[in-house]
Amino acid sequence: QVHLVESGGGVVQPGRSLRLSCAASGFTFRDYGMHWVRRPPGKGLEWVAVIWHDGSNEYYADFVKGRFTISRDNSKSTLYLQMNSLRVEDTAVYYCARRYSEAFDIWGQGTMVTVSS
């Protein structure tokens, strides 16, 4: 069964860092590009970042560029999101999602990140 499980969320002060993880199972992780998508409280979905299946390319939404870094370890079937210089407006549920034909076909259950002083 195909599964994505996020972890690493929590409460953090503005300006601090946090690293999210997404453990994949049930499919050949190294064959798929992967995304991070977030949903701020009371708002809609926002695309955050994508990484190619082999890690050769990364792209970011403007609002995280220079602060967030997406990476992956195909030997561990795990996706990461390193979030630095966090802002209050980064508060959201963060989902990892599998890339399929420029859509997101498999989603994790999400992990909550709260940035607050």
Partner 1 sequence: QSALTQPASVSGSPGQSISISCTGTSSDVGSFNLVSWYQQHPGIAPKLMIYEVTKRPSGVSNRFSGSKSGNTASLTISGLQADDEADYYCCSFASGSNWVFGGGTKLTVL
> Tell me, what DSSP letter sits at residue 83?
E
From 45, 77, 84, 112, residue interacting with partner 1 (rule: CB under 8 A): 45
Q: Give the separation between CA 41 and CA 112, rounded to whole angstroms.
A: 10
Q: Which residue, 27 or 107, is less far from partner 1 as judged by CB?
A: 107
Please name the amino acid found at residue 93.
Answer: V
Q: How far is the CB of 93 from partner 1 (least distance, A)?
A: 9
Please list every residue from 56 through 115 that binds partner 1, using CB under 8 A: 57, 59, 61-62, 95, 100-105, 107-110
DSSP string, 18-35: EEEEEEEESS-GGGS-EE
3-state secondary structure of 63: coil
Interface ranges with partner 1 (CB under 8 A): 35, 37, 44-47, 50, 57, 59, 61-62, 95, 100-105, 107-110
